[in-house]
Amino acid sequence: MVPGQANLYRNPTNLHTHGLIVEPRAPTLKDPTFGDYVFVEVYNPANGIPVPQSVHGHGSVKMNFADYRIDIPRDHPSGVFWFHPHVHGLSLNQVSAGLAGIISIGETQDYVKGAPSVVRHLMLKDIQVLALGTLQYERGPVAVADGEVQNQQISDFCEPRDNGGATTRLGFCDGGPADHGSANSFIGSRWYFTVNGQVFPSIKMTSSGGEIWRLINASAQVSYRLVLMDDTTQQPMPIQLVAIDGVNISVPAGTPAGTVMTLGANKFTVTDCPLGNTSTLPVCVQDLTMMPSSRAELWVS
């Protein structure tokens, strides 16, 4: 047992914001609430009473609940942020089970001239859903119910499907057999890749000026390569990249496309912007790679 982890099976949790410039405030006698403070574990008494930890403890112990008050400064940068649990050793499990959400601050017009007022919030989430059976874990065999979530996500759960020579996952991936690099068979199970919890959602846009899409990759270990395809031409559609990982795009005129891509850590491929775009010095892309915990803002029309 790793020191400080004796209580993990009791499934404590806490709260942490990602990207916000806020105070990591501990409670005081005058103010018993927590700020963006990760050194606390919140327990459900039904899971048992935590035992004292002499080394590498995660901080304060709270039973049943903890009150948070995270103050956003008036001059805080606008953009998209998110929150998730931050208990070491359990974050992946709890994020995989869905414990995450979006924090949206300010307006895109604060840093993009002529940006549309319609803002859509999209969260990329994945979840491994198990079929009825028995799985072998470190502590021994465990019976799982049909539809149970695999919290300790396994990377070789399944193989990407071959889509006309291009390896891609189309909404979900069917579990593989036991000889597929794992001691467990995941036949009948599925690894779902969702947008706001939905597989293949339909998004209807009615604004003539388009929409701002604020995206979060709330996956614990999955990266996504995002492309908007034209159903008629089957070619990628250009999208204006507004911000990436909380930093709005500001590129001097005449900057070579290769330089822009390098500055963006090659997370996107630059393409020509459509005529009639009203923003100044836009950067348009035909694809965007979002790694776990990454954020992006797109102008889609």
pLDDT, one tens digit for every residue, the chain (301 residues):
566 678 888 999 999 999 999 999 999 999 999 999 999 999 999 999 998 877 666 778 999 999 999 999 999 999 999 999 999 888 988 998 889 999 999 988 888 888 898 999 999 999 999 999 998 887 788 899 999 998 878 878 887 655 554 555 578 989 988 865 567 889 999 999 999 999 988 888 888 889 999 999 999 888 999 999 888 898 899 999 999 998 888 777 778 888 888 878 888 888 888 765 444 568 889 999 999 999 999 999 8
Rounded distance between C-alpha atoms, residue 20 and residue 218, angstroms: 16
| d(C-alpha 153, C-alpha 221), whole Å | 8
Q: 245: which residues sit within 8 A by CB, 6+ positions away? A: 19, 294, 295, 296
User: Residue 67: what pLDDT?
Assistant: 96
Judge contact between 133 and 117, C-beta under 8 A.
no
pLDDT at residue 202 in the model: 87
Q: What is the largest CA-CA distance in the chain?
A: 64
The C-alpha atoms of residue 24 and residue 18 are separated, in whole angstroms, by 12
Rounded to 5°, angle at Cα 80 from 96 and 110: 175
CA nearest neighbour of 221 among 193, 262, 243, 190 = 193
The pLDDT of residue 201: 87
User: Cα angle at 294 between 14 and 268, to 5 degrees?
Assistant: 175
Which tokens belong to 164?
């006309």
Give the pLDDT confidence score for residue 277 in this predicted structure.
47
pTM for this structure?
Answer: 0.87
Q: What is the pLDDT of residue 5?
A: 78
pLDDT at 182: 66
β-strand pairing of 140-144 with 133-137: antiparallel
Give the pLDDT confidence score for residue 82 in this predicted structure. 96
The whole-angstrom separation of Cα 185 and Cα 44 is 32
